[in-house]
Structures are given as C-alpha cells and as structure tokens.
Amino acid sequence: MGYFDEMNGGANGGGSNARPPYARLGDWLQSMPAELRSLKQAEAEALFRRIGITFAVYGEGGDPDRLIPFDMFPRVFSGAEWARLERGIKQRARALNAFLVDVYGRGEIVRAGRIPARLVYQNEAYEKAVAGFVPPKGVYSHIVGIDIVRTGPDEFFVLEDNCRTPSGVSYMLESREMMMRMFPSLFRENRIQPVDIYPDKLRRTLTSVAPQKCNGAPTVVILTPGHFNSAYYEHSFLADLMGVELVEGQDLFVDGEFVYMRTTEGPKRVDVIYRRIDDAFLDPLCFRPDSMLGVPGLMDVYRSGGVTICSAPGAGVADDKAVYTYVPEMVRFYLGEEPILQNVPTWQCGKPDDLGHVLANLAELVVKEVHGSGGYGMLVGPKSTAEQIEAFRAKISANPANYIAQPTLSLSTVPTFVEEGVAPRHVDLRPYCLVGETIELVPGGLTRVALREGSLVVNSSQGGGVKDTWVLAE
C-alpha cells in the first residue's frame, strides 16, 4: 500500500527533494553522525526518566512505569497547513458542544431525524443526571482532543474525537522542552511557533467558565484518581504549570451549596474542578455508590450552579465511536456550514447492510469497539492472522452494535530514528482544543508514531512513541 511521506512528498518516501516545511531538516540530518545521534537519543531517554515522564500499561507484567519512547526527528507543518487544520478543529469543537447542549435539552437533532434516538439516549455515556442542565457558557467539553491522520498533501481525516479527559498534553510540552534543550540551533534557524503557552491558555479557559455563584477570582483544582493512575504524571505536571492544587476526592467535601478543599489553613471554597476521573466515579451519591475517588454530593452542587466540572459529566456521549459518524451532520445542523475536516468512511455494524459488508471484508478493514480506547479491542485486518479474523468475526456477530469498521488508511509517514538509521514510520496527531468563553488551540499537538516497521497502531500502550510537532510561523 502506498503512503505519503511528509518530508519528501513522494509515495513511500520516494521523493528526492524535501518539501518546504522540512527544507532545513535535511542538512541537519546529514550533519549528524551516527555516534552523535546515539548520544542524543540516550540523553533524551535519561532526561525523560529523570523528570518522570512514564506511563503505566495495565494488565502487563514488567515495569509498571515504562518510559515512553521519544523520537528526535520532529514533525513539521507549514503555517498554511496549520491554519486549515485549526479552522477545522475549532469548527468541530463548536459542533460537538452544540450537540451536547442540544441532547441534554430539547434534542432537536434527534427530532429532526438526523441521528437515531437510541444512539444518544440508550448510550452508556449519556448521563440522565444532567438532562435539562446547561453548564456555564454552554460548554460541556472544555478540552477536545481530536485525533487526525494524514493521507496526502491536502488530505486530512478525523479518526476520533475525545471530549472527556483527553490525555497526552504533557508529552507535547515535554517533547518541545527536550528538543529546545538538545538542539537549540534548530530553533534559531526555524521560526517555530511556541506551545509552552498551553498551561496559561488552559487556566484561562477553566476560569472563564466559573459557576454562577462564584465571587471574585475563581479557585481552580485538578481532581486526580491518584498516583496509581497511568496519567498521574500529567495531572501533577499541569497542576504545577498552572499554579493550581492537585487534589484527590478525599481532599474535597460538600457543605451546603458549595464544594470545599481541605487545607492547612482550613476549608477553602473551590469553583472549578478540572477532573481527570470518569463520570462513574465522580459522586457516589449520584453514580457508582462504591466509588472511593469522588466527592459525595458533588453533583447537587454542580446542578445548582455552585461549582463547574470540566469537562462536564455526560460529555462522553459526543465521542462515542458510533456517534462519531454523525459529526459532519452536526456541523451542518448546528452551524450551517460544510465540514472542513472529513471523517474516515465508517460502517456501523449495528446496521444490517453495514454488517454484511464488514463481515465480507474483515481482512481489509480496521474494526473497533464503540467504547474501546488505547488501541485495545480492535482488529487491524491486513495485519491479522486468519485465526484472529475468525475470532473477531464471532465477537462482531454476537454483538454487532458494539462495533464500527473503517478502511485501512495509508497513514502518512515522517522520518524516524531507528536502529538501522533513519526510516519512515506512520504517525497521527492529537491537537488540544480549549473551549471556554473563546475557542483556542496552541499551534502544535501530540504526534504519536508507530515505531514498529509497517505498524499503524500509534498508541503508547501498543508500542508507539512521541515526536515534537512544529508549526512554522509564516
């Protein structure tokens, strides 16, 4: 299968001249002998280990805090390429939030027959506890992580939306820090837009959605499940950069109409909670009664305007993989615009015709669980054995509505440092769109790279790594 090489432009890395965004990197690459490259790679790994950028892989033996692989060859976008992506990402974030306000309100899109009622109201991510409630500024999803793949010079597709608690932003920030430290001359020679403004923008976004009952400057906290969580490093990292408290459920309590944080100087009122725990664990009085991670009574305070929860409980109904197929329709319905970024063509196995097509073509398709994440619960047909395909066929047949299928896209590649030297590896991109009083995103994002030759699975839990993402100033 042919693929677009982002540096050389040709199919399968066959172009002879670097595309303009990468023009200066060719010389940099040529001037770096193998010994220096190995030295720099070791330096990067030592720095990542020292500052603690690790991630846990559940259900596996060995090192629970494995180092995420970092690749030194950056991924580069021109200013014009990014401008188009930015418009498309912001458009999508607006539509997703309009959809959430609608389906927890009058449900106009369902009444108009544009999306089936069962996909919304029977969805396990739909929270009846917030039906009829409109969060401050009408924002449900405050941090939208949109996963994008590229297949050609001008072809970008959205792979999925993450409207709940998208992770990985610490890798975006630390990858940039690492590159600036190791190769300062590259940053002098290239006009690269900064990403270190993200924590300030995030804090501004969170304070802009303070609740009705907030008096004065809002107090913001990050609510974490604790240090056993795979993204705990990121929670503490962001709290530190934003200058806010990192709290666990036991650090907060409800008294009357407000939420308070326990401090050495006595209780302090909390106005905005950036939560990094799932809906089910937020409030044992409203959701799972066995939750030890949440705050009893939190949802009553939330619904009465005493605290803002970011992202809002119930936001997950917008990023369900079956609902994803209707996002272009949301753009048209709520914004009256044509989508700037296209979806990957998708078959819903819950539809009989789609199911027939999927079962007949399993060997060519990528099949995903509707609620799956992290690269788990999926089949990559062309990379699977006959036995794996047949086992997955049985799973789909037993519960068709639980699966969607997509064609195997020829993801673009970026040069990557491997043991033999430099070779093309497939990448995707997760930009982070911040939605509050305004919609903002920093110029860049998390580029994940499939380090195994030929692999299309970029998730860190499945052997993927990360790269710095450059957006050039025009």
Question: Is pLDDT of 311 > 70?
Answer: yes
Q: What kind of architecture, by CATH, is found in domain 345-407?
A: 2-Layer Sandwich (3.30)
The predicted model gives 137-161 an average pLDDT of 96
Please write the tens of the pLDDT for every residue from 187-213: 998 999 999 999 999 999 999 999 999
Question: Is pLDDT of 276 > 80?
Answer: yes
Write the DSSP string, 176-192: HHHHHHH-HHHHHHS-B
Q: Are 57 and 461 in contact (CB under 8 A)?
A: yes
Q: Are 247 and 222 in contact (CB under 8 A)?
A: yes
Same fold, 212-306 and 345-407: no
Angle at 37 between CA 34 and CA 41, to 5 degrees: 140
Confidence of residue 62 (pLDDT cuts 50, 70, 90): very low
Q: At what angle do helices 169-182 and 232-242 cross, to 10 degrees?
A: 70
pLDDT of residue 370: 84
Tally the residues of the chain: 474
Question: Is pLDDT of 60 > 60?
Answer: no
Please write the tens of the pLDDT for every residue from 337-384: 999 999 999 999 989 999 999 999 999 999 988 876 656 678 888 888
Question: Is pLDDT of 58 > 50?
Answer: no
> What percent of the chain has pLDDT above 90?
74
The predicted model gives 122-146 an average pLDDT of 96
* Residues 63, 56: Cα–Cα separation, whole Å: 8
> What percent of the chain has pLDDT above 70?
93
Instruction: Please report where in the chains the tokens 């099949």 appear, as a residue.
Output: 367
Better-predicted residue by pLDDT, 90 or 421: 90
Question: Is pLDDT of 59 > 50?
Answer: no
Domain ranges of the chain: 20-211+307-340+409-471, 212-306, 345-407
pLDDT of residue 15: 53
Q: Are 318 and 99 in contact (CB under 8 A)?
A: yes
Query: Dihedrals φ, ψ of 98, to 5°?
Result: -65, -40
Instruction: Round the average pLDDT of the chain to a whole number and report it.
Output: 91
Better-predicted residue by pLDDT, 27 or 462: 27
Tokens of 248: 């666990």
pLDDT of residue 47: 85
Q: At what angle do helices 34-51 and 169-182 cross, to 10 degrees?
A: 130
Q: What kind of architecture, by CATH, is found in domain 212-306?
A: 3-Layer(aba) Sandwich (3.40)
* Residues 64, 62: Cα–Cα separation, whole Å: 6
pLDDT of residue 53: 65
Asked whether the CA dihedral 403, 60, 279, 432 is positive or negative, the reply is negative
The predicted model gives 125-143 an average pLDDT of 96
The predicted model gives 283-306 an average pLDDT of 96
